[in-house]
Amino acid sequence: MQYGAWCMMKKLKEFPDSQYRWWNGDPDWMEVRVGENATRPKLTWQSQVEGGKQAEWDGGDSVTWVSLGLAGKCVEQLDEVEGLDEIPRIDALDLGGNELRSLAGLGRMPWAPGLKRLYIDGNPLARLDEAGGLGACPGLEVLHAGPGIETLAGLAQLRSLKELWVYGRVGKLEALEGLGALEDLAITSGTIQVIEGLDTLVNLKRLDLSGNRIERMQGLDHLVSLKYLNLANNQIAAIEGIDSLDRLERVDLKGNPIPGIEQFLKARAPEGLYPGSFDETVHLHYLYKLDHSVIHLSPAIHDRIQRGTLTFTFS
């Protein structure tokens, strides 16, 4: 069962005399979910002399999820959002596309310890390890950030994190050792050259390191749960380092200078299929059988391609 506060807001806007304003601009959305058999929580917005709004909460025990969207509101500091520190609970918070340069205000928010999802992409943040920031959110499960993040330092304390997406300027895979619960990791469009620091991520199912400067497929041996690997648009010259990944189902290698790939993409497959209309992995299997020197594959990888349990994308 869901109750969207935006419905109440829309109704208030129909009356010109209401002078409705919330935090110097309406939120994109606020959604409150309660249990199927619970009574509707009392969620009201009371006017203040200045024209702002202050939240009052009643029946909070029945609430199962609270989402708040404040994307694109030109917010520079969390403390400047009037009333944000009076909301008793937020599970998911979208602060994307603002002007945040610091997350220090999180430590002063009563809902921070219980926050599950935080979206801060599109802000001019450079670091995530400042005092009073993410350390105040030990229950965080989903974090999206970028494009100016330069380092992953400060993330090791987020031991409940399951999904981490960071894009932009990261130059090294680090500070991931304590993130054993992580299932989805995307560090894209940075300057990473070496795959490292992933040994403890035994629950990782999806890894996206596309758009970096990686030269070798290495450091992947311990990712025993990995199903999807995206290394597109790097500088990889050989298919290697994945023989032990028994659960791997798909590998994206498009945009890499692997010898023979150009010939592979232009060649006609034995079945009479052509680029744009053929299964690249099936074609890879046939080409490997015809000439091992064109595309080098380990026997184990070739066997999985032949059985249809592993596929590749090159274009």
Q: Are residues 117 and 11 in the same domain?
A: yes
- Find the mean pLDDT for residues 112-133: 93
pLDDT at residue 133 greater than cutoff 90: yes
Q: Under a CB-based contact definition with an 8 Å cutoff, are residues 203 and 180 in contact?
A: yes
- Beta-strand pair 206-208/228-230: parallel
Q: Are residues 148 and 287 in the same domain?
A: no
- Beta-strand pair 163-167/53-58: unpaired
pLDDT score of 265: 59
Domain of residue 293: give its range: 259-315
Write down the pTM of the prediction.
Answer: 0.80
pLDDT at residue 95 greater than cutoff 70: yes
pLDDT in tens, 155-208: 988 999 999 999 989 999 999 999 999 999 999 999 999 999 999 999 999 999
pLDDT in tens, 294-306: 567 888 888 888 7
Would 197 be classed as within a structural domain? no
Would 271 be classed as within a structural domain? yes
Q: Are residues 144 and 24 in the same domain?
A: yes
Would 94 be classed as within a structural domain? yes
Q: Are residues 284 and 157 in the same domain?
A: no
The C-alpha torsion from 69 through 71 and 73 to 74, rounded to 10°, is 140
Domain termination site, one of 129, 148, 169: 169
Higher model confidence: residue 57 or residue 108?
108
If one counts the domains in the chain, the total is 2
The number of angstroms, rounded, from the C-alpha of 23 to the middle of its chain's C-alpha atoms is 27
Q: Are residues 291 and 160 in the same domain?
A: no
**Where is 1: in which H helix or E strand?**
none
Q: Is 44 helix (H, G, I), strand (E, B) or coil?
A: strand
- Find the mean pLDDT for residues 10-31: 34
Domain termination site, one of 169, 199, 216: 169
pLDDT score of 75: 85
Q: Are residues 163 and 266 in the same domain?
A: no
The overall average pLDDT reported for the chain is 77
Least confident range of 34-43, 110-119, 222-231:
34-43
Q: Under a CB-based contact definition with an 8 Å cutoff, are residues 132 and 106 in contact?
A: yes
pLDDT at residue 4 greater than cutoff 50: no
Distance in angstroms (rounded) separating the CA atoms of residues 268 and 274:
6
- Find the mean pLDDT for residues 238-246: 93
- Find the mean pLDDT for residues 101-114: 93
Q: Identify the CATH number of the domain in which residue 97 sits.
A: 3.80.10
pLDDT score of 209: 98
- Find the mean pLDDT for residues 230-244: 94
Would 38 be classed as within a structural domain? yes
Q: Which two tokens stand for residue 315?
A: 């274009």
Q: What's the pLDDT band for 289 if we cut at 50, 70, 90?
A: low
Q: Which two tokens stand for residue 250?
A: 């798909």
Q: Are residues 270 and 164 in the same domain?
A: no
pLDDT in tens, 22-76: 333 344 445 555 444 444 333 333 333 334 444 444 434 556 677 888 888 788 8
Domain termination site, one of 146, 169, 192: 169
Q: What's the pLDDT band for 81 if we cut at 50, 70, 90?
A: confident
pLDDT score of 135: 93
pLDDT at residue 222 greater than cutoff 90: yes
Q: Is the peptide bond before 147 cis (omega within 30 degrees of 0)?
A: yes
Would 145 be classed as within a structural domain? yes
pLDDT score of 283: 57
Q: Is 118 helix (H, G, I), strand (E, B) or coil?
A: strand
Would 200 be classed as within a structural domain? no
Distance in angstroms (rounded) separating the CA atoms of residues 103 and 136:
10
Would 70 be classed as within a structural domain? yes
Would 188 be classed as within a structural domain? no
